[in-house]
Structure 1
Amino acid sequence: MPLALAAAVSVAATACSSSSPSGGSTGASPGQDAKNAAKVASSVTDYNPQPYENIKDGGTYTTAGTFDEQGNPFNVNGTLNALRVWSWYNADAITYSPTGEVQYNPDYYSDVKVSVEGGDQKVVITLNPKAVFNDGTPIDWRAIEATWKANNGSDKEYAASSTDGYDRITSVTRGADDKQAVIAFKGVNASWSALFTTFLHPQAATVDNFNKAYVKTAHPEWGTGPYTVGTWDDHSGNITFVRNPTWWGRPGKLDKRVYVNLESAASINAFKNGELDYAPVGTAENLKQVKTVKDAEIRSGGSPFEYSLYLNTKSPLLGDVQVRKAVQESIDRAQIAKIRFQGLDYTEPLPGSSVLYSFQQGYRDNVASVLKYDPEQARKTLDAAGWQPGADGIRAKDGKQLAIGYTLLGDGPIEKATAGAFTAMLKAVGVKVDVNKVSENDFSKVLSDRRFDLFISGNRSTDPFGARYLCDFYCSDRDSNITGAGTPELDKEIRATGEIADLGQQIAAVNEVEQKALQQYSLLPLYSGPSTYGIRKGLANVGAAIFYSPLPETVGWQK
């Protein structure tokens, strides 16, 4: 869904700050199969799954977090954090099991029928007759239509995260009554559900509101669900959600859901002090500390994240594809992963794709097909491009030294070690790296303004249909392609994969095209890592759950 790429360009480049604070369907604890979990990008889940009836009434659930600059997750500047916050006071109409099976929420979608006639797909969604937005506006076919119109790309004034899929819808019309939406596609879209996991209030879908209304603020009147905004403190950054009196479905079990604005480095101490009920664990030191916390436990499993090194092709020196190729040939990804996973008792294969994980059907290691770690070859590549070593070992051409920047987000020891590793690897082939430290709060600006030469950022997949996001990573005309790479010819090939109705055939085609895209050497997948959390004992439906996010009313404290 469009939220996937909003997340794709919004995850802070540290394991600590990138993990989702909710999860869960059925699955095994990694303790049951830890050895197997270490062999592949793990598909294990661990989140204390409990049915609604097993959750206590009352209590508070508190985590670190706050609102971001852009709170509309459909917007190109929307972040993973924006999606998390959004889901607590807006519709969660479609979710997925940990392995990706579609789950319709009957509180919003009473019935869904999918048919194909004459090669074109039709989806008929019957909306719950009780469903209303908090301002009293009925949730009907107009909400589906408004969401489509804002995201289909026909009006370039909308700063939409992704138009893929929406642009293949030919119409959204009223069905038997206002509570039925008829969605007509050109061709067949097997991953259509990713388009309408949530939706916009029609008033929120005007150009001005879509782009600006959610900047550093919330609009609970346009929201819906078991919870609504209690307090939204634009001074402290703290947020509290409370039960929604207009909600028609199962009431939320919690009295309050609280986000406390803390830097990621402070969340472990807050968890140890009993101020938080959950803290992502991204380092061996954090893991050691969390293990000592009374009434807490470690939950760890597979991760729908992938972190990549982005090379800014608009930077003067990185505009040369041969320089980018040499940079990537110089990077020992296994060493970077070793640094990231040190002390976590976790290993995984090097990722080979930006859109699929190794535990998914159809996955292929596309990176290995076009690139290998080879410093000697990197030197030859730079020699051929005219970059000659100087007396200090740093290469130069036409009087200009081959010096590029690495943007370091935050100042954690692992982040510093990673920056040091990149610096050493590139120095070995004659490339100087200048490390530029920036605040975590500047993350969105770094990406939107392309204030980097080299930068690590992460993608969290919010649905299992990764193949449909190929364009968001590699198309030259997409703002979401933060490297700026691509060609009109490649764009055409990428978009042609979206015309393939069969998911298996589509994935096969995507693999072929991604190999071509990777030969632009602008993006290098680095690692996924485990999803590991310190969590208060008894907290239900929270933890590592891959593609699943629990409905808010099912999160709470086990009886």
Structure 2
Amino acid sequence: MRTRLALPLALVAAVSVAATACQSSSGKASATPDKKDTPVAAPSAADYNPQPYDRIKDGGTFTTVGTFDDQGNPFDVNATLTATRVWAWYNADAITYSPTGAVQYNPDYYSDVKVAVEHGDQKVTLTINPKATFNDGTPIDWTAIRATWKANNGSDKAYAASSTDGYSQITSVEKGVNAKQAVITFKGVNAAWSTLFSTFLHPKAATVAHFNNAYVKKAHPEWGAGPYTVGKWDTHSGDITFVRNSKWWGRKGKLDKRVYVNLESTASVNAFKNGQLDYTSAVDAESLKQVKGLKGTEIRSGGSPFEYSLYFNTRSAVLSDPSVRKAVEESVDRAQIAKIQFQGLDYKEPLPGSSVLYSFQKGYEDNVSAVLKYAPDDARKALDAAGWKPGADGVRVKDGKKLDIGYTLLGDDPLSKAKAGAFAAMLKPVGIHLVIKKADEADFSKILSDRRFDLFLSGNRSLDPFGARYLCDFYCSDRDSNLTGAGTPALDKEIRATTGIADLGQQAVAVNKVEKKALEQYAVLPLYSGPSTYAVRKGLANVGATIFYNPLPETVGWQK
């Protein structure tokens, strides 16, 4: 899943265009610059104290901010990222990803997985662990896979499904050699199929009534499975305690208790400082300053699968000309914008080269650099050639109109205002006047849906490693999720052709080739990703900056 501003239901809305520390990734490494002060390569920018299972103590408690949301079913359209995280502590974690996005099958659920393509159609065979059982005694078998598919494939509109993408491509889910085997057949191929069944529903939870309503302000541990189950849920405070599940067939959970405390995110730093929490995000320089150096704690920081970009509304009169858009992009010093963004965070990263793939992923290419460079002089020449002549005040003029371009700024965040000011300063010497237009954060969705902007800075976050599947959401001319309105039917066809490639490596090659063409529309300019930074109690293992990696619950705990 990719969470992105103003994308369809498959992509949960992000709410901030200010600096954000995003959940990050991977193996143990430092985000400290080397002696040459070069940007940290994203593959090594991870910090979460990875420890094998046998190096974790038995016992202890792990406490963070969180609660059951109003809708606790992560497949439901109204569920949030918090719901997904809480769900994972008392339901199946059948498929996870490595920090860099490699698929990992959990043998406690799927003892064997086979993927084949026959006559152009993909077939996935899941062999389910013979011991796998829901907490109410119901065997976990092919009917759970079928129930999950039927609830999410869009054939019954009564289900409030978050996304039918992928599920709608499945033509059947059938019993294999026995009930412990599910055979899933797709029309065509789906390289990202693993995102569809990383967890699943109890068949009883997959009726329309239960899917939509059973998890509203309620937990159903009897329909769950895993090393932990709900021990106590205080419906008044919202606090949750998970305890070891006596019905679990796999390795037992290391922790005695996993506790979520229902606090506002703004209160989490103080709660960490007074010992109430074991872990909290340090989202900006100020919060980092408060937690840095606290006795018994450490800062874990790394990269994240999050990216902010500058979006150009190609349907606005001033930006309808590609030469103007290109001139703007050539005038923006992305390295300087990143420097402003990361001020006070002791963090560096390579400039992003793609909207859909990250530099820590296999197959990534710097597509931005292949089609664009920071070149203000070239921008001036291009504007001259396009008929935009410098005016007496330095602002270019064409057909009696000044080259005034709007920049929509939400709220009063100082960092966002600093970046807006930097954009204006960069564009001024080229002869472009940036008109900063302040807007209320409450109007955010309407600004995007109505395209009431010229330039707009917003972000997206990937929750799975299959960014290539979202290429159309960024660049297809007929997608509402394409904030810029750029693109052509011919390019749309090339983009959609990439989704039919089953091999992820070959798909990445095709995606990079097409994205270079899409970037030549000069309507999207990737700017930065940013760090995931956390304050953590010393000794806490497998927690921190992890990119795509979500450690299995039984592996989280306190290091021996």
Which residue number corresponds to residue 524 of structure 1? 525
Instruction: Report whether the alignment pairs 1:433 with 2:436.
Output: yes
The question of 1:13 aligning with 2:14 is answered no
Find the aligned partners of 1:315 and 1:214 in 2 and give their Cα distance.
46
Alpha-carbon separation, structure 1, partners of 2:269 and 2:42: 25
Which secondary structure does the structure 1 equivalent of 2:44 belong to?
A: coil
The answer (yes or no) to whether the contact 2:327–2:383 under 8 Å persists in 1 is: yes
Matched positions, count: 549
SS of the residue corresponding to residue 142 of structure 1 reads helix
Task: Tell me: CA distance 1:116–1:218, structure 2 relative to 1, closer, same or farther (3 Å).
Answer: same
1:144-180 per-residue CA deviation (whole Å, 9 max, x = no partner) reads 2343345556677877666554454332212233332
- Are residue 261 (structure 1) and residue 263 (structure 2) matched? yes
Distance 1:207 1:496 in 2: 34
Distance 2:179 2:3 in 1: 26
* Equivalence for 2:278: 277
User: How far apart are the structure 2 equivalents of 1:8 and 1:43?
Assistant: 28
Gap change, CA 1:302 and 1:168, over 3 Å in 2: same
Range 11-20 or range 465-474, more displaced: 11-20
Check conservation: 1:133, 1:223, Cα contact below 8 A: yes
Q: TM-score, normalised by structure 1?
A: 0.81
Secondary structure in 1 matching 2:513: helix
Q: Is the 8 A contact 2:31 2:347 kept in 1?
A: no
2:243 aligned with 1:240, yes or no?
A: no
How has the CA–CA distance of structure 1 residues 203 and 216 changed in structure 2, closer, same or farther, with 3 Å as cutoff?
same
Gaps of 5+ in 2: none
Summarize the Cα distance change of 1:70–1:519 in structure 2 as closer, same or farther, 3 Å threshold. Answer: farther
The answer for the alignment partner of 1:338 in structure 2 is 339
| CA deviation profile, 1:400-436 (whole Å, cap 9, x unmatched) | 984534243673x433322332344455512312132
The corresponding residue for 1:459 is 460
Residues 458/156 of structure 1: CA separation in 2 closer, same or farther (3 Å cut): farther
Measure how far apart 1:499 and its partner are.
1.6
1:373-401 C-alpha deviation (Å, 9 max, x unpaired): 34455566667487986969487988798
Percent identical: 64
What's the counterpart of residue 220 of structure 2?
Answer: 220
- 8 A Cα contact 2:395 2:403, kept in partner: no
Q: What is the match of residue 406 of structure 2?
A: 404
Q: Say if 1:67 and 1:82, in contact at 8 Å, map to a contact too.
A: yes
Structure 1 distance, partners of 2:440, 2:141, is: 48
CA contact (8 A) 1:119 1:188 kept: yes
Contact map agreement 1:49 1:541 (CA 8 A) in 2: yes
Give, in whole Å, the separation in 2 of the partners of 1:558 and 1:529: 28
Residue of structure 2 in register with 1:179 after alignment = 180
How far does residue 470 in structure 1 lie from its aligned partner after superposition? 1.6
Aligned-partner residue type, residue 143 of structure 2: R
- Whichever of the two has the greater Rg, that structure is 2
Residues 44-79 of structure 1: per-residue CA shift (max 9 Å, x gap)? 432122233443444433334566787655567765
Closer/same/farther in 2, CA of residues 135 and 73 from structure 1, 3 Å limit: same
Distance 2:551 2:35 in 1: 24
Note the 1:8-407 alignment, pairs <5 A.
9-10=13-14, 12-19=16-23, 26-30=27-31, 38-65=39-66, 73-74=74-75, 79-133=80-134, 138-152=139-153, 165-202=166-203, 213=213, 217=217, 219-220=219-220, 223-225=224-226, 226-228=228-230, 230-231=232-233, 238-243=238-243, 245=245, 247-249=247-249, 250-252=251-253, 253-264=255-266, 266-312=267-313, 324-375=325-376, 378=379, 384=386, 393=395, 402=404, 404-407=406-409
* TM-score normalized by the length of structure 2: 0.81
**What's the Cα RMSD here?**
4.2
> Whole-Å Cα distance in 1 between the matches of residues 353 and 118 of structure 2?
37
- Whether the 8 Å CA contact 1:388–1:396 is kept in 2: the answer is no
Per the TM alignment, residue 504 of structure 1 is displaced from its structure 2 partner at its CA by 2.5
Answer whether contact 2:32 2:40 (CA < 8 A) is retained. no
| Higher deviation after alignment, 378-387 or 162-171 | 378-387
Q: CA 1:416–1:430 in structure 2 vs 1: closer, same or farther (change >3 Å)?
A: closer
| CA contact 1:7–1:79 (8 Å) conserved in 2 | no
Q: Distance in 1 between matches of 2:231 and 2:380?
A: 56
The one-letter amino acid paired with 2:470 is Y
User: 1:2·1:194 contact (CA, 8 Å) conserved in 2?
Assistant: no
